[in-house]
Amino acid sequence: MAKEYDLVPRPVPPVETKFRRIATEFPVPESIPILQKLQAYEPVAMRGQPPVVWHRAEGFQVYDAWGNRWIDWSSGVLIANAGHGRPEIARAIQSQASQLLTNYCFPSEIRGRLVERLAGLLPEPLKKIFLLTTGSETVECAIKLCRSYGAAVGGRNKHVIVSYDKSFHGRTLGSQQAGGIPALKEWIVNLDRGFVQIPFPDGYRTTDSSFAGFESGLRERNIEPRNVAGVILETYQGGSAAFAPVEYMRTLRQWCSGHQALLVCDEVQAGFGRTGKLWGFEHYGIVPDLALFGKGMSSSLPISAVAGRADVMDLQPPGSMTSTHTGNPVCCAAALASLELILTEDLAGNSARLGALLHSLLSALGSRIPQIGHVDGKGLVAGIACVIPGTREPDAGLAFDLVARAAEKGVLMFSPVGYGGGTVKISPPLVISEEALRESVAVFEESFAEVLRQRARAA
Ligand SMILES: Cc1ncc(COP(=O)(O)O)c(C=O)c1O
């Protein structure tokens, strides 16, 4: 059973630095009625984040209404790539909102501008763009396109969707079946046998990271390569921030082309500069047939996109790929404004530069703390695997305690729930400064030391 946050305020040591301020008990007593209201009216499934009631967020900082402020290591779970509360984005939203709030799939000028801008930035052949609202929907759309493509080039047996163990692609029926965390899909009961998962070659949880594992994975699951319609993977796995080896991905690219299977990169987390490149798949020197975007696309409002090869994107006839909020004009305005900030401020470059610092600090931390089993990630995303020392056994309780302690000390982070546990994720807005990054890593180290001391005392 996952741990839950205690809603009883406790005194915590005050914090006052340039970037952080904790001046109340934690959780803040005045926030308790709000937290209780949420608990009363929302499902239990909505719990899981530290009990900090966000009032305002700016750049890489989050503020509550009672004088506390945090360095944000979550980006609101990888949304605010261009920074929280950017006035440029707020102005674009306000201006568009005063002109046109919604228009379903009827044409609009701003939707045209956004799809043209995205297509211009993406490499060949990703030149057609379909806008949606959530990341899960882009995965559903990719499944539909893979199966349509498979049927078109190889008949109805060519319908298998290959994905990876420990992957996460969303919580809707199809996206959850593509996901590789069995506990999250128990509710489905009658799983579609046309979805199979094979080990993700991260070199840590799966020690054999060679491409042979892909082929043997298919053989073991009795999948004929000619029946594979598509292979979908997160550009890095969200639960850990692990990347696949470059060689593996290049061979996978060739394998997919050779077997007329679509290669789909789920960039819902990895896109828009997060990993130190504008698109995460650039790290592999490959281009997928479909790329899926969401989260950091607008740094604010809900908007997502499927980008793909024209011949694949055009498989469905007019009117058969729609969604009520497709390319909502206000969301398009937000996405355009966010993208311009990412480009003009070279936030992918900032992510690469500060990411190098972050990863060197974390690897030094890893060599000092035996409970850090592994550190994954690139650019401004990192996953720290908390383990039972001397093993690779995840320690989900430790990850929870670290997140809780860091929140009390003014650093807001999260541990991906349900991914298998034991990982704490670091993913600040890409505008974070070096000074704030160094300070927050120091806070994280202090949190580690305090939690471990407390455990030792309790043992
Ligand atoms: C890689 C990846 N794909 C898809 C999704 C689903 O996106 P959404 O929550 O917007 O439906 C997520 C969400 O965490 C994700 O990390």
pLDDT in tens, 51-89: 999 999 999 999 999 999 999 999 999 999 999 999 999
Find the range with the poorest average confidence among 258-262, 353-357, 420-424: 420-424
Q: Is 238 in the pocket of ligand 1 (CB under 6 A)?
A: yes
34, 267, 383 from 425: Cα distances, Å: 26, 17, 5
Instruction: Report the pLDDT value the prediction gives residue 420, as an integer from 0 to 100.
Output: 62
Q: Is 294 in the pocket of ligand 1 (CB under 6 A)?
A: yes
Domain boundary among 314, 344, 374: 344
Read off the pLDDT band of 144 (50, 70, 90). very high
Q: Is 179 in the pocket of ligand 1 (CB under 6 A)?
A: no
- Give the number of C-alpha atoms closer than 13 A to the C-alpha of residue 146, restricted to the C-beta side: 35
Tens of pLDDT, residue by residue over 382-428, are 999 999 999 999 999 999 999 999 999 999 999 886 666 799 999 99
337 and 378, same domain (yes or no): no
Q: What percent of the chain has pLDDT over 90?
A: 96
Separation of 177 CA from ligand 1 center, angstroms?
A: 13
Read off the pLDDT band of 210 (50, 70, 90). very high
Q: What are the structure tokens assigned to 237, written together?
A: 């796995």
Instruction: Report the pLDDT value the prediction gives residue 430, as an integer from 0 to 100.
Output: 98
Separation of 173 CA from ligand 1 center, angstroms?
A: 13
> Which atom of ligand 1 lies nearest, measured to the CA of 134?
10
Q: Kindly report the CATH number assigned to the domain that includes residue 363.
A: 3.90.1150.10
> Which atom of ligand 1 lies nearest, measured to the CA of 234?
1
Instruction: Report the pLDDT value the prediction gives residue 48, as an integer from 0 to 100.
Output: 86
Instruction: Please check whether residue 435 lies inside any domain of the structure.
Output: yes
| Structural domain boundaries, residue 64 | 15-82+346-458
329 and 388, same domain (yes or no): no
List the 228-234 sheet strands across, edge first: 128-132, 304-308, 290-293, 262-266, 228-234, 160-164, 195-198
Instruction: Report the pLDDT value the prediction gives residue 4, as an integer from 0 to 100.
Output: 85
Q: Is 133 in the pocket of ligand 1 (CB under 6 A)?
A: no
382 and 437, same domain (yes or no): yes
Instruction: Report the pLDDT value the prediction gives residue 1, as an integer from 0 to 100.
Output: 62
Can you give the three-state secondary structure of 227-292, one letter per residue?
Answer: HEEEEEEECEECCCCEECCHHHHHHHHHHHHHCCCEEEEECCCCCCCCCCCCCHHHHHCCCCCEEE
Domain boundary among 344, 368, 400: 344
Instruction: Please check whether residue 249 lies inside any domain of the structure.
Output: yes
Separation of 234 CA from ligand 1 center, angstroms?
A: 10
| Rounded Cα gap, residues 62 and 76, in angstroms | 10
Residue 2 in this model has a pLDDT that exceeds 80: no
Q: Across residues 414-443, what is the average pLDDT? A: 91
337 and 365, same domain (yes or no): no
Contact 153, 260 (CB under 8 A): yes
Find the range with the poorest average confidence among 12-26, 37-51, 270-284, 414-428: 414-428
Can you give the three-state secondary structure of the chain, one letter per residue?
Answer: CCCCCCCCCECCCCEECCCCEECCCECCHHHHHHHHHHHHHCCHHHCCCCCCCCCEEEECEEECCCCCEEEECCHHHHCCCCCECCHHHHHHHHHHHCCCCCCCCCCCHHHHHHHHHHHHHCCCCCCEEEEECCHHHHHHHHHHHHHHHHHHHHCCCCCEEEEECCCCCCCCHHHHHHCCCHHHHHHHCCCCCCEEEECCCCCCCCCCCCCHHHHHHHHHCCCCHHHEEEEEEECEECCCCEECCHHHHHHHHHHHHHCCCEEEEECCCCCCCCCCCCCHHHHHCCCCCEEEECHHHCCCCCCEEEEECHHHHCCCCCCCCCCCCCCCHHHHHHHHHHHHHHHHCCHHHHHHHHHHHHHHHHHHHHHHCCCEEEEECCCCCEEEEEECCCCCCECHHHHHHHHHHHHHCCEECECCCCCCCCEEEECCCCCCCHHHHHHHHHHHHHHHHHHHHHHHHHC
24 and 100, same domain (yes or no): no
350 and 288, same domain (yes or no): no
Domain boundary among 302, 328, 344: 344
173 and 254, same domain (yes or no): yes
Q: Is 428 in the pocket of ligand 1 (CB under 6 A)?
A: no
Q: Which of 169, 200, 240 to mutate to test the pocket of ligand 1 (most atoms within 8 A of CB)?
A: 169
Neighbouring residues of 217: CB distance < 8 A, sequence distance ≥ 6: 196, 198, 199
Instruction: Please check whether residue 361 lies inside any domain of the structure.
Output: yes
Tens of pLDDT, residue by residue over 163-177, are 999 999 999 999 999
61 and 197, same domain (yes or no): no
| Rounded Cα gap, residues 430 and 379, in angstroms | 9
> Which atom of ligand 1 lies nearest, measured to the CA of 139?
4
Q: How many structural domains is the chain composed of?
A: 2
Residue 26 in this model has a pLDDT that exceeds 70: yes
Tens of pLDDT, residue by residue over 279-331, are 999 999 999 999 999 999 999 999 999 999 999 999 999 999 999 999 999 99
Q: Which of 295, 306, 381, 417 to mutate to test the pocket of ligand 1 (most atoms within 8 A of CB)?
A: 295
Instruction: Please check whether residue 225 lies inside any domain of the structure.
Output: yes
276 and 415, same domain (yes or no): no
Instruction: Please check whether residue 286 lies inside any domain of the structure.
Output: yes
